[in-house]
Amino acid sequence: DTEVTQTPKHLVMGMTNKKSLKCEQHMGHRAMYWYKQKAKKPPELMFVYSYEKLSINESVPSRFSPECPNSSLLNLHLHALQPEDSALYLCASSQDSMGQGAYNEQFFGPGTRLTVL
Protein backbone atom coordinates (compact mmCIF):
# COMPACT_ATOMS: atom_id res chain seq x y z
CA ASP A 1 0.00 0.00 0.00
CA THR A 2 1.71 3.18 -1.21
CA GLU A 3 -1.17 5.52 -0.64
CA VAL A 4 -1.98 8.39 1.66
CA THR A 5 -5.71 8.74 2.20
CA GLN A 6 -7.55 11.80 3.42
CA THR A 7 -11.11 12.31 4.59
CA PRO A 8 -13.34 14.04 3.94
CA LYS A 9 -12.73 14.97 0.32
CA HIS A 10 -14.75 18.17 0.70
CA LEU A 11 -15.80 20.07 3.82
CA VAL A 12 -17.94 23.16 4.23
CA MET A 13 -18.07 24.70 7.67
CA GLY A 14 -19.19 27.85 9.40
CA MET A 15 -16.90 30.04 11.45
CA THR A 16 -18.29 28.70 14.72
CA ASN A 17 -18.05 25.01 13.81
CA LYS A 18 -15.56 22.45 15.03
CA LYS A 19 -14.44 19.86 12.51
CA SER A 20 -11.53 17.51 11.92
CA LEU A 21 -9.54 16.43 8.91
CA LYS A 22 -8.12 12.93 8.87
CA CYS A 23 -5.09 11.42 7.16
CA GLU A 24 -3.90 7.82 7.11
CA GLN A 25 -0.93 5.94 5.67
CA HIS A 26 0.15 2.32 5.97
CA MET A 27 3.61 2.57 4.48
CA GLY A 28 5.36 2.49 7.84
CA HIS A 29 6.43 6.09 7.43
CA ARG A 30 7.48 7.85 10.60
CA ALA A 31 7.07 11.44 9.42
CA MET A 32 3.76 13.04 8.54
CA TYR A 33 2.96 16.55 7.35
CA TRP A 34 0.11 19.02 6.94
CA TYR A 35 0.22 21.54 4.11
CA LYS A 36 -2.15 24.30 3.10
CA GLN A 37 -2.57 25.12 -0.58
CA LYS A 38 -4.47 28.08 -1.98
CA ALA A 39 -5.66 28.08 -5.57
CA LYS A 40 -2.86 28.49 -8.14
CA LYS A 41 -0.24 28.56 -5.36
CA PRO A 42 2.32 26.05 -4.10
CA PRO A 43 1.70 24.03 -0.93
CA GLU A 44 2.80 25.72 2.28
CA LEU A 45 4.03 23.65 5.18
CA MET A 46 1.98 23.88 8.38
CA PHE A 47 3.09 21.06 10.69
CA VAL A 48 5.53 18.18 10.77
CA TYR A 49 5.26 15.14 13.00
CA SER A 50 8.26 12.90 13.45
CA TYR A 51 7.84 9.65 15.35
CA GLU A 52 4.42 10.86 16.54
CA LYS A 53 5.84 14.03 18.05
CA LEU A 54 5.29 17.52 16.71
CA SER A 55 8.64 18.68 15.37
CA ILE A 56 7.73 21.71 13.27
CA ASN A 57 4.93 24.25 13.65
CA GLU A 58 5.26 26.94 10.99
CA SER A 59 3.66 29.62 13.19
CA VAL A 60 0.20 28.32 12.39
CA PRO A 61 -2.73 30.01 14.23
CA SER A 62 -4.06 28.06 17.19
CA ARG A 63 -7.44 27.59 15.49
CA PHE A 64 -5.61 24.74 13.70
CA SER A 65 -4.69 21.95 16.10
CA PRO A 66 -2.80 18.88 14.83
CA GLU A 67 -2.86 15.49 16.48
CA CYS A 68 -0.98 12.29 15.77
CA PRO A 69 -2.78 9.43 17.60
CA ASN A 70 -0.38 6.80 16.21
CA SER A 71 2.21 6.36 13.52
CA SER A 72 -0.40 5.78 10.80
CA LEU A 73 -2.86 8.55 11.59
CA LEU A 74 -2.73 12.32 11.50
CA ASN A 75 -5.60 14.64 12.33
CA LEU A 76 -6.10 18.35 11.96
CA HIS A 77 -8.71 19.80 14.29
CA LEU A 78 -10.37 22.99 13.13
CA HIS A 79 -12.17 25.52 15.31
CA ALA A 80 -13.32 29.09 14.75
CA LEU A 81 -11.86 29.29 11.29
CA GLN A 82 -12.00 32.34 9.06
CA PRO A 83 -13.10 32.51 5.41
CA GLU A 84 -9.47 33.10 4.39
CA ASP A 85 -8.68 29.62 5.75
CA SER A 86 -10.56 28.15 2.81
CA ALA A 87 -8.02 26.08 0.88
CA LEU A 88 -6.91 22.58 -0.07
CA TYR A 89 -5.35 20.86 2.94
CA LEU A 90 -2.80 18.26 1.99
CA CYS A 91 -1.37 15.52 4.12
CA ALA A 92 1.93 13.86 3.27
CA SER A 93 4.19 11.22 4.73
CA SER A 94 7.80 10.18 4.33
CA GLN A 95 10.06 7.43 5.59
CA ASP A 96 11.66 9.80 8.02
CA SER A 97 11.69 13.52 8.68
CA MET A 98 13.82 15.75 6.55
CA GLY A 99 16.99 16.50 8.41
CA GLN A 100 19.97 17.96 6.60
CA GLY A 101 21.53 15.32 4.45
CA ALA A 102 18.44 13.14 4.49
CA TYR A 103 16.50 12.68 1.27
CA ASN A 104 13.04 11.34 1.89
CA GLU A 105 10.41 11.35 -0.80
CA GLN A 106 7.14 12.74 0.45
CA PHE A 107 3.95 10.98 -0.60
CA PHE A 108 0.93 13.25 -0.76
CA GLY A 109 -2.72 12.50 -0.24
CA PRO A 110 -5.44 13.92 -2.52
CA GLY A 111 -6.30 16.66 -0.04
CA THR A 112 -9.42 17.96 1.65
CA ARG A 113 -11.06 20.93 -0.05
CA LEU A 114 -12.17 23.16 2.82
CA THR A 115 -14.64 26.02 2.47
CA VAL A 116 -15.28 28.30 5.45
CA LEU A 117 -18.47 30.34 5.21
Partner 1 sequence: GENVGLHLPTLSVQEGDNSIINCAYSNSASDYFIWYKQESGKGPQFIIDIRSNMDKRQGQRVTVLLNKTVKHLSLQIAATQPGDSAVYFCAHQGGKLIFGQGTELSVKP
The yes or no reply on residue 1 touching partner 1 (CB under 8 A) is no
**Residues sharing a CB contact under 8 Å with residue 62, sequence separation 6 or more, in sequence order:** none
Q: Please state the φ and ψ torsions of residue 2, each to the nearest 5 degrees.
A: -115, 45
Nearer to partner 1, 16 or 99 (CB): 99
CB closer to partner 1 out of 27 and 107 = 107
- Based on the shown chain and the rule CB under 8 A, indicate whether residue 66 belongs to the binding site for partner 1: no
User: Scanning residues 9 to 28, which ones bind partner 1 (CB under 8 A)?
Assistant: none
Q: How would you classify the pairing of strands 107-108 and 73-79?
A: unpaired
Stretch that binds partner 1, among 14-22, 64-72, 74-82, 109-117 (CB under 8 A): 109-117
d(Cα 43, Cα 28) in Å, to the nearest integer?
24
Indicate the residue among 72 and 104 with the shorter CB distance to partner 1.
Answer: 104
Among 1, 16, 40, 59, interactor with partner 1 by CB under 8 A: 40
d(CA 35, CA 91): 6
Q: Do 11 and 89 form a contact (C-beta atoms < 8 A)?
A: no
Q: Which residues bind partner 1 (CB under 8 A)?
A: 4, 33, 40-45, 48, 56, 90, 92, 98-100, 103-111
